[in-house]
A and B are shown apart, each in its own frame.
Chain A
């Protein structure tokens, strides 16, 4: 077609775009601030991904720093401490995710059985408290609790009797994992039960009535009615939490680390922080972060696909 016609068509498309905007101009105006913020703070940093493929020299700037291709990603396997960080991340991640997973569910089931509404409300309110505290506050509480003159050692001395030497578990590496696990439970089990409680509350009560008529005891009812009915919720929560396998809670780990334990308890997130921000190794840290993000996304997509196949449940 001739150029006049194609120019006309291009201008028509352009016009219809502006016409579309004009038709709903207030709506677009309302959405605009959000789009600007997201563009600036979420999309612009994506340009920084290029750092992962260069050997960033602060003097040369981004453009003039030499290109190194995938060298920084290969460094994941050779960088000192990185492999250990990966191992720690996976261990902590698995223990917290899979070890901690049953507890909120069990708690929700138990909450559901409480007959006195007042008592139930009070217990729930108390159980939710640690969730609203910052990790720093929780860590502060734990430091006091586990100190040599603190309550933990007092209780142990009382249990074990004479001959018990008081020591602070936070100063030894072997105790790091149990502390991480238990503090995670303490902080989150109450609040995590909320979503399961909501799911349990949504179960049709006539199901339970029918089961009672058929002579089913409490335990059987839980196994055959409650559990299957909350299955969807359980799976969705699990799928959405899978990212934490690779993405340990920075605040928690960094907060609990100290001079005694730092060397061997490094996880991917703390390593990225120390090497990236503290030591200025921008390129490496970017590459590590990207690799981690990639694994997280893959975990999410794969588990979503699996749950769709197996359980017909998925996030999207």
Chain B
């Protein structure tokens, strides 16, 4: 099919726009990558674009030798693994249970599970409950409270409803009960939807920092994202102090920059690296989750 001239122009413009979008999206990240490999003092002079001017791995060495950083890695990694596993177990079991036949209270249970998705008491009542449960400043606050999300259950349930009954029936004839059937037959069949939900949960857990902000003051329990937030807020305060010093022409003021831009950049790169490396290959799972959730409407 021949393309008219205007169509050709449109396609050309479209391609140019797409390339622009790619540049705008990637630039800040590449910039950060370059800064992380650049010498700290040199970075302060500005002008770094997408390649390091004075290459060095000093910043990364500094980050890896920082015990706070390593502790935060431990917190982040373990909490992702634990919370994702627990949540998957709870949500999947509930979804499967709700698809069983002859379930007398199905409607009531579904309603019970659904209402909190729309009505929540808010931060302060949650804070009071956590205090009562001794979860404030406890590692377990990363694992238990967010365990069940109704939306995730709906996605899994939609998937499970597509599985033909004959599979379960033949297993029942062989004498298996529901729980055995679930673990030995249904779970292996559900790997795609499990992967989708697991990925959602993992990304959410890895990126979360507000839980720490609200309920944790013990620095041993800081995850990577929270550490980064403190770094950013701290370096921004230092920037302000530096600017005020120059504005007041107080050349005598030695503004100690606690953390160099390069170290901050290295921390950011490391914190985002796992997700950046993984998501391109698992895109289709994430997208499937979105589509499944929408189709359910």
Given contacts A113-B10, A129-B279, contact A34 B94 (CB under 8 A): yes
Given the interface pairs A48-B129, A114-B18, A139-B232, the reply to whether A30 lies near B225 with Cβ below 8 Å is no
Bound complex: CA A145 to CA B271 (Å): 18
Contact of B214 among A126, A199, A277, A290 (CB under 8 A): A277
Nearest CB to that of A47 among chain B residues?
B125
**By the criterion CB–CB under 8 Å, are A142 and B28 in contact?**
yes
- B228 and A140 contacting across the interface, CB-CB below 8 Å: yes
Interface residue A9 (Cβ < 8 Å from any Cβ of B): no
Contact of B112 among A35, A114, A255, A273 (CB under 8 A): A35
Interface string of A281-316 (1 = CB under 8 A from B): 010011001101100010010000000000000010
A233 CB contacts on chain B under 8 angstroms: 294
Per the bound structure, the CA–CA distance linking A62 and B239 in Å amounts to 44
B18–A110 touching, CB < 8 Å: yes
Q: Assess the A132–B129 pair: CB atoms within 8 A.
A: no
Chain A residue with the shortest CB-CB distance to B93: A30
Please choose the segment from B52-60, B140-148, B250-258 that sits at the chain A interface, where 4 or more of its residues have CB less than 8 A away: B140-148
Chain A minimum-CB-distance residue to B45: A149
CB of B49 within 8 A of CB of A110, answer no
B157 CB → nearest A CB, Å: 11
Within 8 A of B (CB), among A103-149: 107, 110, 113-115, 119, 122-130, 132-137, 139-145, 147-149
Chain A's interface size range is 35 or more
Which residues from chain A contact B124 at a C-beta distance below 8 Å? 48, 51, 272, 276-277, 282, 285-286, 289
The reply to whether A145 and B129 contact each other, CB–CB distance below 8 Å, is no
Closest beta carbon of chain B to A109's beta carbon, Å: 10
Shortest Cβ distance from residue A85 to the other chain B in the assembled complex, whole angstroms? 15
Contact segment of A36-44, A63-71, A94-102, A173-181: A36-44
Q: CA of A30 to CA of B91 in the docked complex: distance in angstroms?
A: 9
Known contacts A41-B147, A134-B207, A134-B209: A272-B129 contact under CB 8 Å: no
A144:B25 contact, CB within 8 angstroms: no
Chain B residue, CB-CB nearest to A107 = B21
Is A74 among interface residues, defined by CB-CB distance under 8 A? no
A24's partner among B94, B104, B209, B280 (CB-CB below 8 A) is B104
Cα(A178)–Cα(B119), bound, Å: 31
Q: A289 to B120: give the CA distance in the assembly, Å.
A: 9
Which of the listed residues B32, B91, B268, B286 has the most CB atoms from chain A within 10 Å of its own CB?
B268
Across the two chains, which residue of chain A brings its CB closest to B3? A115
Q: Is the CB of A31 closer than 8 A to any CB of chain B?
A: yes
Closest to A197 in B: B287
- For A42, the chain B residues whose CB sits under 8 A away are 116, 120
Residues of B within 8 A of A20 (CB): 104-105
- Interface flag for A168 (CB, 8 Å): yes
Flag the segment in B67-75, B177-185, B188-196 that touches A.
B177-185
Interface size on B, residues (CB 8 A): 100
Indicate whether A93 reaches chain B with its CB closer than 8 angstroms: no
Would A297 and B25 count as touching, CB distance under 8 A?
Answer: no
Q: Say which residue of B119, B177, B275 sits within 8 Å of A297 (CB atoms).
A: B119
Is the pair B179, A29 in contact by a Cβ cutoff of 8 Å? yes
Residues of B near A315 (CB, < 8 A) are 297
Bound-state CA distance A216–B118 (Å) is 45
Closest to B125 in A: A48
Given contacts A37-B144, A119-B15, A285-B124, contact A144 B272 (CB under 8 A): no
Name the one of B24, B93, B122 contacting A186, with C-beta atoms under 8 angstroms: B24
For window 274-291 of chain B, which residues contact chain A by CB distance below 8 Å? 275-276, 279-280, 283, 286-287, 290-291
Is A23 part of the binding interface, using a Cβ–Cβ cutoff of 8 Å?
yes
Answer yes or no: B102 CB below 8 A from chain A CBs.
Answer: yes
Give the docked Cα–Cα distance between A114 and B31 (Å).
28
**What is the bound-complex CA distance between A286 and B124, given in angstroms?**
6
A136 touches B236 (CB 8 A): no
Complex CA gap A277/B127 in Å reads 8
A205 at the interface (CB under 8 A from B): no
Contact: B240 with A259, CB < 8 Å?
yes
Partner of B21, one of A29, A51, A123, A150: A123
Q: Are B46 and A149 in contact (CB under 8 A)?
A: yes
Known: A144-B28, A149-B44, A250-B210. A24 touches B144 (CB 8 A): no
Query: Beyond A136-B225, A142-B28, A277-B124: 4 further Cβ-contacts under 8 Å?
Result: A24-B103, A47-B125, A126-B22, A293-B120
9 inter-chain pairs at a CB distance below 8 angstroms, sorted by A residue, are A27-B178, A30-B94, A33-B90, A37-B144, A37-B147, A119-B15, A127-B21, A132-B275, A255-B229
| Complex A-B, nearest 3 residue pairs according to Cβ-Cβ distance, in ascending order | A48-B125, A149-B46, A289-B122
Using a CB–CB cutoff of 8 Å, the interface residues on chain B facing chain A are: 7, 10-11, 14-15, 17-18, 21-22, 24-29, 31-32, 35, 44-47, 49, 89-91, 93-94, 96-98, 100, 102-105, 109, 112-113, 116, 118-129, 133, 144-148, 153, 177-179, 182, 203, 206-210, 213-214, 225, 228-229, 231-233, 235-237, 239-240, 243, 261, 264-265, 268, 271-272, 275-276, 279-280, 283, 286-287, 290-291, 294, 297
Task: Give me the interface of A with B, judged by CB distance under 8 Å.
Answer: 20-21, 23-24, 26-31, 33-35, 37-38, 40-49, 51, 62, 107, 110, 113-115, 119, 122-130, 132-137, 139-145, 147-151, 154, 168, 170-171, 186, 190, 194-195, 198-199, 218, 233, 236, 250-251, 254-255, 258-260, 272-273, 276-277, 282, 285-286, 289-290, 292-293, 297, 300, 315
